[in-house]
Amino acid sequence: MWSQVYEKIDQLTEQMVEDRRYLHQHPELSFEEKETAAFIAERYDKLGIPYRKNVGGYGIIGTIQGGQPGKNIALRADFDALPIQEENDVPYKSKRDGVMHACGHDGHTATLLAVAEAVLPFQEELPGKLVLIHQPAEELEPGGAKPMIEDGALDGVDAIFGTHLWATTPVHAIESSKSVFMAGADRFEITIKGRGGHGAMPHQTKDAIVMAGQAIVELQQIVSRRIDPLKPAVLTLGEVHAGSTFNVIADSARLTGTVRYLDEDVQTQVIEEMHAILKGITLSYGADYELDYVKGYPPVINHIDEANYYIEDGTEIPGVKESYEIIPVMGGEDFAYFLQERPGAYFFTGAKIEGREPYPHHHPKFDIDERALPIAAKALLHGYRKAQEK
């Protein structure tokens, strides 16, 4: 049966490309994916696959009940886009100003739809149940995974698998980890509260910009000088806003950023160190501060048996020439919530475009090699197949 399913996937490659390009031209931001959800639902209506919509938001869950005894295995694909203006000059360029599929979620959706269609003719031979989770809002915390879980997405599910098309990894390669695979991802906002005044009379003020400048320098030393160098961490400041004109000393400054970590002890230490630095700087000026620290997605932690389907057995997947374990990636993913609830694994499917600079994810020129789509589809089904044999 499986060789026939894989052959069917190959036959669906052109449709996968067409679906991916349509979705690429019509991206929708997190929590706004109404049209994308309708596109998925329409396909399942056409195929006659039962599904539940509006799961935890715009989420959709399709199910294919096999005719043979077995386990209930879920496969997940996300479908939201990013607030980025696309700079690619391609026929399928985004038609929506300031919105772009710059992370491959269009390809994820096209892949899972093809999985559903490829398996359907062999439903009576299929063991257990195939659960098709189409998830919205991965890009924006609190994300779509947790609401879907709370709405029953994993009810009766024995294991779950997901993949990310990875634009810096060669096509025909699979990457994963037997433990921590991706980082926990938090965000923060700092407000420095000073006292404004005339630019010619600084002695009458408490300069928020000066305090913010010191805070920037000190905060960057948390990772380099206060965290165990054998424990990875990132603290990035992404925005700094202060002042209104050249001759006025600002009364406040706002800094926003992100923290990434693999170990929860590191997360705790970073928060404590941030408070210590900000308190020390503002106290020395007779000023004050606020730190709004939002704990986001936890680390993605794979389960070893399921991860080995891809690390040790990955070359069993048609089209995969090499599979291996990599060190953790400091990007975040709300697939972490699924793995907290059920055994499973997350993995990267190589999608690097040959002969072109591999622009990273979330870049205005991000794109993928569409030859990766059928490989990703077969790789997802590989997890389903191996889990049934476990």
Question: Which phi and psi (to 5°) does residue 367 adopt?
Answer: -160, 170
Secondary structure element (H or E) that encloses residue 40, with its range: helix 34-47
> By C-alpha distance, which of 266, 276, 240, 386 is closest to 330?
266
239 is annotated as an active-site residue: no
Q: DSSP state, 145?
A: H
Cβ count near 1 (within 10 Å): 14
What is d(CA 105, CA 108) in angstroms, rounded to the nearest whole number? 5
Q: What values do phi and psi take at 368, rounded to 5?
A: -130, 160
Helices (H) and strands (E) in the chain, counts: 11, 16
- Measured between alpha carbons, how far is 232 from 227 in angstroms, rounded to an integer? 8
Type of residue at 92:
Y
Single out the catalytic residue among 33, 138, 158, 251. 138
Which phi and psi angles does 324 have, rounded to 5°? -160, 165
- DSSP secondary structure, 213-251, as one string: HHHHHHHTHHHHHTS-TTS-EEEEEEEEEE-SSTTEE-S
3-state SS class at 160: strand
Q: Which residue has the tokens 């390809």?
A: 107
- With vertex at residue 184, the alpha carbon angle to CA 58 and CA 136, rounded to the nearest 5 degrees, is 10
Residues paired with residue 46 on neighbouring β-strands, in sequence order: none
> In whole angstroms, what is the distance from residue 102 CA to residue 367 CA?
7
Round to whole Å and give the CA distance between 136 and 349: 20
Q: What is the dihedral of CA 174, 176, 178, 179, to 10 degrees?
A: 180
Asked whether 68 and 127 are in contact (CB, 8 A), the reply is: yes
Residue type, 331: G
Q: What are the binding residues for Mn(2+)?
A: 103, 105, 139, 164, 362
Q: How far apart are CA 110 and CA 120, in angstroms?
A: 16
Rounded CA separation 207/228 (Å): 33
Q: Annotated binding site, which residues?
A: 103, 105, 139, 164, 362
Q: Known catalytic residue: 265?
A: no
- Which positions are annotated as active-site residues? 80, 138
